[in-house]
Amino acid sequence: MPQIRGVLFDKDGTLFDFQGTWGSWAQGLFLDLSGGDAARAATLADVAGYDMESGVFDPASPVIAHTPEEIAEVLLPHLPGASTLALVARMNALAADAPMTEAVPLVPLLSRLRAAGLALGVATNDAEHSARSHLAAVGVEPLFDFVAGSDSGHGAKPAPGPLLAFARAARLDPRQVVMVGDSAHDLHAGRAAGMACVAVLTGLATHDDLAPLADAVLPDIGHLPAWLGLG
């Protein structure tokens, strides 16, 4: 394998712990979208694979790894009169203010990777504005050379477009990049782009789900420096 010179991260479930970030926040989302109607909120939660009582997402939830537009299509049949455009805009606005739970302390980890000369990027199926808001909220946006969302013009995972856009921006051969993510979408995109793939377990997928798709499965991104041979 060529020497790794770039690291491309997924966001939710990778940089940020998925359940810790979105678990309790999602209750407010469904209540907001339902206009405070508890029965409709419960219906929205159900089709989104979310348990309102426990605050836990089902691992098969369409919310995980999908774009805002794809999530809106699941919810729209239960929101009469709503449009995809308006629903996506509302979800993005609410998501931008969600409190983030870092998977590991990000500033020291990312600073260490940058000090080792690695180009760093984020490719998420979230909207770019929300992604940048989340990165800025924990003080790490300036540490990334590249941030792409599903609306940035490069396509969305599992297609390789945003990953190849990072390689171009960093002037790297895709084989010199490792894609780090918590979902099959991330790893399929990485393989399609010709990149190395590392899975982490800070999303909802299990080791057995991800191991067949990855070069390595790590507990979290804090183990990445050792995998990269940085000590």
Task: Give domain limits for the chain.
Answer: 6-17+102-227, 22-96
Domain 6-17+102-227 grouped into CATH 3.40.50.360 = no
pLDDT above 90 for 136? yes
| All residues at 6 or more sequence positions from 54 whose CB lies less than 8 Å from its CB, including other chains | none
Amino acid found at 122? V
Alpha-carbon distance of 200 to 14, in angstroms, equals 7
pTM confidence score: 0.90
Mean pLDDT of the chain: 94
Residue 169 pLDDT: 98
Tokens at 147, concatenated: 């941030």
Q: Is the pLDDT of residue 168 over 90?
A: yes
CA distances from 104 to 4, 150, 224, 230 (A): 22, 24, 11, 17
Mean pLDDT (whole number) for 137-153: 97
